[in-house]
Each structure stands twice: as C-alpha cells, then as structure tokens.
Amino acid sequence: MRGMRRKNLLTICLLLCAINAHSQNEFASANGDLLAIMEKTQRKEKNIVAKLKAPTVLEVKWSVLEKLLNSNTDTTYIVNFWATWCGPCVKELPCFEELNRNYASQKVRIVLVSMDFVDDMEDRVVPMVERMKLKNTVWLLNEPDANSWIERVDANWSGALPATLIINTKQQKRVFYEKSLDYETLNRKLSYFVDE
Amino acid sequence: MKRYLASIYGTLLLGMVVSLQLPATGFPNQKIDPVQADYKIGDVVADFQLRSVDGRSVSLRDFDNQKGVIVIFTCNHCPFSKAYEDRIGALNGKFAGQGYPVIAINPSDPKSYEDDNFEKLKEHVSAKGHAYPYLVDDSQTVARAFGANRTPQAYVLQNNGGKFTVRYIGTLDDNPQDPGSVRKHYVDDAVSNLLAGRPVTTTTTRAIGCAIKWKDA
C-alpha cells in the first residue's frame, strides 16, 4: 500500500513536471509566434515605405511628357532620350549627372527618358539605373507607337538615339540634338537658358 | 539633285577616281552610287546582289517572276529586330505564296556588333530555320542605296515587268513591343492593297529601331 502511494506520488510528480515542461514550451512557442508576427508587421511596414518611396524608374505615358514639354514655367528642362541597348546613350549619361550636380541651385530639371521596352523595366532598366547610381529623374516612356509622338518632341527628329531636348517654355527657347553630347556642349548651351 | 550630289562626290574625289565615278550618271538606276541613291515612294530600285547567310548568291533579279518583294533591313543585335523576327517570318509565311516574299538584309558592320558576324548569323538562322533569304550587306552598299537608316526598316517593292517600284517605306507595324497590341499593320496593309489592285494608303512611316551604324561614320 505504501509502495503504491509512493508510486502514485511519483506519477503525479512526473505528470506535473511534464505539464510544466509542456506549458513552458507552449509559452516559448507563443513567444516565438509573437516575434514572428512583429517581424512580419515590420516587414509589411517596410514594404509600404518602399512602395511610398518614388520608384527608381517611373513608367509614364506620352501625356506626362507632353505636360512637361508644355509646362508654362521658367524652369529649363533637359529631356534626354536614351535606352539601355544604345551604347552612345549610356556613355553620355554621366554628363547629365554632372549637369544635375552643377546646376542644383538653378531652375534646371533633367529627365532621362528611357525608350526601352516595358518588359525590360525590371531586368535591364532599373538595374542599370541603380548600377550607375543615377540621381536624375528617370522615366520609361510606355508608348510603343513611336510614330504617334516622335514628331511632337521635335519635327526634325528621325527617332534616332541618343536625342536631347533643352526647353524653356516661358523664355520660348528650345534646342534639339539628335546626336551624342559631351558635358562642355551641354554646359555651354545651358548657359543661354539660365543666365538671363 | 542626284546628279548634283554625284558631281559633289566626284569633286571631293577629284584627281583620285573621277573616271570611275562618271559612268554612274549615265544609268542612274542601273548602277548604285552609295552616296546619291536614297529611294523614295515611286522610285525604281536598282538590282543588287548579295550573299545569303546560307551561302547562296541572291539578287533582286531572282524575284522577277514575283508580284513584288518585301525588303526588310534587319539584324541580330538590335532589340527591335529581335522583337520583329517572328513577325518577319509571319509576313513571309502569309505573302510568299501570294507573290510577295520577304528578303531580309543585314546591313550591320560585324566589327561594331559581334552578334552580326557571319558565323553568328549562320548559327542563328540554322537554329531559327528562316524560310526567307537573309542577306549579308556587310559593305552596307545596298542599305545606303535604299537610304535605309534603321533596323528593322521595311520597303515594299512592286514588280512591274522587272521594274521593282517602291510602294511603302517604314516600320512594320505600330507596336514593336507587343504583337498582340498592334493596331496598324503597315506592311501587311500595303501588300494586301497591292495584291487587291488598290493603292497603298499609308506609304511612309518612320522606321522605329536601331540606327544603322555606318562604317565610315
């Protein structure tokens, strides 16, 4: 009888221990879940922030570019048409970055308009913009029917790249280049727009 | 204008090859002067002869028994050419049997683009199995004669008793990026109209693609 009681006690003891261990595990796992949830929430917030942040390259339609070309402000816009597959275009991109730095205090805005295919946005355009650390605004013009808008950028443009338009609608000044440019040429030309 | 340009050309080369330049003026459509020719709608195209990627010699004359041809300057390195490759094949598939086969011409300088060297083209064509001739214009003479400036760039030529007349110049259609979203099938429309005995409605568009990089440029 005594032995029996001792055995029961032992069983109870073991049971308690087991329950205790189990509840500890339960607590640990609940704690883990909480952390996971917190992390998940944090990740979500991060994603929202990332989404709120301007994308590296903005996909635009012609109407957006048209608005810029017809904006009645005293800002001088430099619109450079380029593509990742166009060697001479990529080569001159640093010139526009240098202009951006040197004209930061002036009313000059540079927009690099990529003519890449929309399908190449994630695989080619964004990686190149990031690799080259471009600070200028980069758009990808999603208007495949180039015949419908090329003439409206400049009547003499054949559509060849690179091409650059310098425009100030308020001053009614514009100059268009269908060729590669260097920093000196751009700088000299730009001085006619901003030094008045 | 053409003769005027030819005379300038001659003047520039004065004392070098004047005698070689002169005969071209006598038969403006028989001999191609790379500087003066630049075909417009209604012009008759001079014969040309080029080597095809599969080793044959192909000339425009070979197509005398056809109603016309669709000449397309294209290449292998340019993303627009790549995007249009299947559509070029489809045009040939649709129209070759109706008397308007495709002749593709590659005017790229292989020194500028490795993808356009002869071996690469051969590999590509044998992999893709083109049903139309793919000609190599590595001297760029034919592209200059046509006044082509892009790849791809199409010329629809109508054959009138051995005289190939330019009826359409420009882009193949209005959407290089998505064949499913094309609304204006310029080349298809031009050829369909010609086959139906109607005039071509849109005769010229800008060719959208990669600029042909000239050897001496």
Domain harbouring B43, CATH code? 3.40.30.10
Interface test with B, best of A62, A117, A145 (most B CBs within 10 A): A145
pLDDT for position A25? 45
Q: Is residue B191 part of a domain?
A: yes
Lowest-pLDDT range, A24-33, A90-99, B150-159? Answer: A24-33
Q: Is A152 on the interface with B (CB under 8 A)?
A: no
| Least-confidence region, from A2-16, A68-82, A111-125 | A2-16
Residue A3 has pLDDT above 70, yes or no: no
**Nearest-angstrom CA–CA distance, A136 and B212:** 29
3-state secondary structure B16-36: CCHHHHCHHHHCCCCCCCCCC
Residue A196 contacts B where some CB pair is shorter than 8 Å: no
CB A114 within 8 A of CB A125: yes
Nearest CA-CA partner of A120 in A89, A150, A144: A144
Give CA–CA dist A127/A131, Å, rounded. Answer: 6
Contacts of A144 in chain B (CB under 8 A): 174-178, 181
Test the A interface: residue of B76, B174, B177 with most A CBs within 10 Å? B177
Residue among B79, B177, B208 minimizing CB distance to A147: B208
- Residue B112: per-residue pLDDT: 87
From B78, B83, B206, residue closest to A147, measured CB to CB: B206
Alpha-carbon dihedral B177, B180, B183, B186, rounded to 10 degrees? 70
Cβ separation A144–B171 shorter than 8 A: no
Is residue B119 assigned to a domain?
yes
* Single-letter residue type at A128: M
Q: What pLDDT, on a 0 to 100 scale, did the predictor assign at position A109?
A: 95
Residue B30 inside a domain? The answer is yes
A118 touches chain B (CB under 8 A): yes
A86 and B CB contact within 8 Å: yes
Give kind and range of the element (H or E) at residue A52: helix A2-52
- The reported pLDDT for the residue numbered B216 is 77
More confident residue, A11 or B110: B110
Per-residue pLDDT band for A40 (boundaries 50, 70, 90) equals confident
User: Does B7 fall in a domain?
Assistant: no
pTM to 2 decimal places? 0.76
Q: Across residues A14-25, what is the average pLDDT?
A: 47
In this prediction the ipTM stands at: 0.76
Instruction: Tell me the count of A-B CB pairs closer than 8 A.
Output: 41
Query: Is the Cβ pair B211, A146 closer than 8 Å?
Result: no
* Sheet hosting strand A163-168, strand order edge to edge: A58-60, A137-141, A108-114, A76-82, A163-168, A173-177
Q: Is B70 domain-assigned?
A: yes
Range of the domain at B205: 24-211
Tell whether B13 is covered by a domain.
Answer: no
pLDDT of B31 reads 44
A163-168 vs B49-52, strand pairing mode: unpaired
Q: What is the pLDDT along chain B (217 residues), one digit of tens a residue?
A: 444 444 433 333 333 333 333 333 333 334 444 344 589 999 999 999 999 999 999 999 999 999 999 999 999 999 999 999 999 999 999 999 999 999 999 999 988 888 999 999 999 998 988 999 999 999 999 999 999 999 999 999 999 999 999 999 999 999 999 999 999 999 999 999 999 999 999 999 999 999 998 987 5
Out of A144, A159, A161, whose CB is closest to B177?
A: A144
Q: What amino acid is encoded at B15 in this protein?
A: G
If one counts the domains in chain B, the total is 1
Is there a domain that residue B143 lies in? yes
- Structure confidence at residue A26 (pLDDT): 43
- Residue-wise pLDDT tens digits, A113-148: 999 999 999 999 999 999 999 999 999 999 999 999
Using CB atoms, which residue from B79, B178, B206 is nearest to A158?
B206
Name the one residue in this structure whose structure tokens are 């000239």. Answer: B214
User: Nearest chain B Cα to A157, which residue?
Assistant: B206
Q: Does A148 touch chain B (CB under 8 A)?
A: yes
